[in-house]
């Protein structure tokens, strides 16, 4: 089993996946911590890791210089921005429930643009989108093919096992599950934690990367900070409306 497969398996086991715009070195370190814990790595541990990944500076740079200029994702940039603001205002339920429709709306539009199935079950749409991207990456040899393919496969596993699994079969205490959240199966006490937001914004990043594959601006890195993104990050850290 390759190192990427080990990383993917470890992350998927704790309800995450190989995300775009995150270095393999960090993911390898987290995977090592998970495997070394022998089942003791909790969702609280994962939340602490993700809080350092999806901090104000990163999210502001992505909002200003990536979400707003990526085809399809740009259609939802205000919703994404408001959800991020809600996260920093500690409005956790609003933060995650604002992002989930973006995942579905963007995925269907991207699938339609790629000529793959865009109607019916959103799980089917996401699988078809990831499969199409996998074939495209392998055919055109985009970037580090092995890493991108591992990310695509890892995301599909995350969708199947967690984000869109039947609510009654969701196995982790964090409850990052689309059906439970949007159907009102979960009450206030069941979700609304930062980890719900982190996992869902990672799905937004995944779709952002998928969209970028059809542009001339493919990048595996978070954009550099700008004066605008710095002001936005400072506003979020100060928990002010930005």
pLDDT at 2 exceeding the cut of 80 = no
Tokens read off for 157: 């596993």
pLDDT at 13 exceeding the cut of 70 = yes
pLDDT at 8 exceeding the cut of 60 = yes
- Per-residue pLDDT of 188-207, as tens digits, reads 999 999 999 999 999 999 99
Indicate the range of 27-41, 70-84, 215-229 predicted with least confidence. Answer: 215-229
pLDDT at 1 exceeding the cut of 50 = no
CA nearest neighbour of 206 among 154, 135, 143: 154
- The residue segments making up the domain with residue 118 are 3-237
242 inside domain = no
217 inside domain = yes
Q: Mean pLDDT across the chain, nearest whole number?
A: 95
How many domains is the chain built from?
A: 1
- Per-residue pLDDT of 126-147, as tens digits, reads 999 999 999 999 999 999 999 9
By three-state DSSP, how is residue 217 classified? coil
How distant, in Å, are the alpha carbons of 43, 60, 82, 118, 187 from that of 152?
23, 25, 27, 18, 32
219 inside domain = yes
pLDDT at 52 exceeding the cut of 90 = yes
Query: Going by C-beta distance under 8 Å and a sequence separation of 6 or more, which residues neighbour residue 175?
Result: 181, 186, 190, 191, 196
pTM of the model: 0.95
């Amino acid at each position: 089993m390759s190192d990427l497969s080990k990383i993917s398996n470890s992350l998927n086991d704790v309800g995450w996946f190989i995300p775009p715009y995150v270095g393999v070195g960090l993911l390898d370190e987290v995977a090592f911590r998970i495997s070394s814990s022998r089942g003791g790595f909790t969702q609280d541990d994962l939340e602490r890791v993700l809080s350092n990944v999806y901090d104000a500076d990163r999210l502001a740079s992505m909002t200003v210089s990536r979400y707003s200029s990526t085809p399809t994702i740009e259609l939802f940039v205000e919703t994404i921005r408001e959800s991020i603001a809600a996260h920093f205002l500690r409005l956790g339920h609003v933060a995650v429930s604002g992002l989930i429709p973006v995942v579905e709306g963007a995925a269907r539009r991207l699938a339609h643009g790629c000529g793959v199935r865009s109607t019916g079950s959103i799980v089917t749409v996401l699988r078809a989108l990831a499969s199409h991207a996998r074939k495209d990456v392998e055919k055109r040899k985009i970037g580090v093919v092995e890493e991108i393919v591992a990310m695509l496969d890892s995301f599909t596993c995350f969708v199947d096992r967690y984000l869109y699994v039947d609510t009654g079969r969701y196995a982790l205490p964090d409850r990052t599950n689309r059906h439970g959240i949007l159907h009102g199966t979960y009450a206030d006490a069941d979700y609304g934690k930062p980890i719900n937001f982190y996992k869902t914004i990672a799905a937004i990043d995944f779709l952002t990367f998928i969209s970028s594959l059809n542009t001339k601006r493919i990048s595996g890195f978070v954009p550099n900070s700008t004066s605008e993104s710095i002001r936005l990050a400072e506003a979020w850290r100060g928990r002010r409306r930005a």
